[in-house]
Amino acid sequence: MARIPVFMGIDLGTTGIRIMVCDENGKVIKSSSRGVEDSFISSENPKVSEQNPIMWEPALKDALQDVLGSAGIYDLKAVCCDSTSGTIIPVDRDFRPVHNAILHNDTRANEESKYINEYTALSVKPSFSLSKILWIKRNREDVYEKTYKFIHAADYIKGLISGEFNTTDFSNAVKTGYDLANEKWPDEIERILRISKDKLPSVVRTGDIFGELKDDIQREAGIKDRVSIVAGATDSTTGFYSSGARIPGDWNTTLGTVLGIKGISEKYINDPEGLFYAHRHPEGFWLPGAASSSGGEILRAFFGDRVQEYDRKASDLLPTGALIYPLVHKGEKLPFINNDATGFIDMNICDPLYLFKGILEGLAFVERMTYEKVERLGYSVSDKVFSMGGGTSSLAWMKVRASAMKRNVYKAKITETAFGSCVIAAGKVHYKNLSEAITNMVSIDRVFEPDKDVTAMYDEIYERFVATCKTRGLF
């Protein structure tokens, strides 16, 4: 009897490693998780965020052993890894870390990012990998001199299972300054920043095969045939592929602590406001995206552990008429940039349930403003929006979004980033391409359609919401 072909995805998050094995139809065969909280390095500086990557190895090994225990009865074809974007690790010639991993949310490189933005054509933030590399060069010359390569977190993980540390994917390379249009490292990195390009990894496209699973791992698991290692992407990009978005005009909204969007486009359109940046699709498309400062964080701030309770009660509540800009902290970066922006609440009914529903409506209005901005830039947006993130479990939020945006809202059955890596792996070694893998492996769990009885009401409230934002000087 022929063995079932399966594909493995490995996701390295901030707090843990998740490994998933799926078949060609997207059915999860096995999954396992291990925490990496003990790898955090404490610091009194709030801008510093580091982990010891050597301490990721036991978690990876344990999770692999758990998942591969029954691998012999399947035909494991390929493995793909993803991780948080912007995390950078300096390694020596033996590919051992010479410094802690500087994480995606580390913002110490503020002066370095300003310098890069002023003296080069590159556009970076303090959290970007390139800013951190320049910080190391300026502030830790000893580390810079010892560094053979600056690699990303996903590169380190796939290096541990393949022995190939010297190659990265063009998704993780974005925040290290990689030129996606010409697919090369810009000369400015060496000419102006004096960072040797020899210290940067080789770059391949997401989905490219560049190695094989180590012999010792295969022997231990009883795997006889060679297993390909496929280049992955950042976690947000692999999650995007797991949402079901696959053709130009498809867009996805991630509903988490913050609200983020990403879409597929045949062309890249320059954004003069600097709201959007882009990744590349392995089939040549562009993946423009951005994130707001608003999101589900405000629900926890107001309602704590009672969010689910209020969500059930608010599901069938009519539009509240409330005008709420859902910001917890000062500053907004999508659908407009305003570092001094603050949220506001304007409602006539003093009731926690109406406040909860009003916040959901405010989040939907921010999302609608964002997609209107996307369309004004010239990007195509279809009549459906795919969704992922913890917020997709909110029935009330999903229903409000569909009616407030007047678009069908799609929720996939599995939207985990490790699953997205499984899809990328299958797209190269089993299917014709990534799009075909998404078609065959991603299943839509539910479609939320606009409620025609309330869409007109939301149109009127939305107009007042936008007018209030203008009056308050938000944009």
Query: In this predicted model, what pLDDT tens digit does every residue of 115-132 receive, in sequence order?
Result: 999 999 999 999 999 999
Q: How far is CA 447 from the centre of its chain?
A: 22
Summarised one tens digit per residue, pLDDT across range 157-205 is: 999 999 999 999 999 999 999 999 999 999 999 999 999 999 999 999 9
pLDDT tops 70 at residue 105 = yes
DSSP element (H, E) containing 193? none
Instruction: Taking residues 310-334, report their average pLDDT.
Output: 95
pLDDT band for position 78 (cuts 50, 70, 90): very high
Instruction: Taking residues 278-293, report their average pLDDT.
Output: 95
- The chain-wide mean pLDDT, for the chain, equals 95
Structure tokens at 383: 């009549």
pLDDT tops 60 at residue 455 = yes
CATH number given to 4-236: 3.30.420.40
How far is it, in rounded angstroms, from Cα 8 to Cα 31? 9
pLDDT band for position 69 (cuts 50, 70, 90): confident
Q: How many CB atoms lie within 10 A of CB 438?
A: 25
How far is it, in rounded angstroms, from Cα 177 to Cα 201? 12
pLDDT band for position 222 (cuts 50, 70, 90): confident
Domain with CATH 3.30.420.40 in the chain: 4-236, 249-411+446-471
Instruction: Taking residues 269-274, report their average pLDDT.
Output: 90
- The domain covering 249-411+446-471 belongs, at the CATH homologous superfamily level, to ATPase, nucleotide binding domain (3.30.420.40)
pLDDT tops 60 at residue 1 = no
pLDDT tops 80 at residue 2 = no
pLDDT of residue 224: 87
Residues 156, 158, 163, 165, CA torsion sign: negative
pLDDT tops 80 at residue 134 = yes
Three-state secondary structure call for residue 3: coil
CB 261 within 8 A of CB 278: no
pLDDT of residue 160: 98
pLDDT tops 60 at residue 246 = yes
Question: DSSP class of residue 293?
Answer: S
Count of residues in the chain: 475
Summarised one tens digit per residue, pLDDT across range 361-415 is: 999 999 999 999 999 999 999 999 999 999 999 999 999 999 999 999 999 999 8
pTM: 0.92
Q: Beta strand 167-169 with 202-204: parallel, antiparallel or unpaired? A: parallel
pLDDT tops 60 at residue 79 = yes
Structure tokens at 283: 């089939």
pLDDT band for position 72 (cuts 50, 70, 90): low
Instruction: Taking residues 267-294, report their average pLDDT.
Output: 93
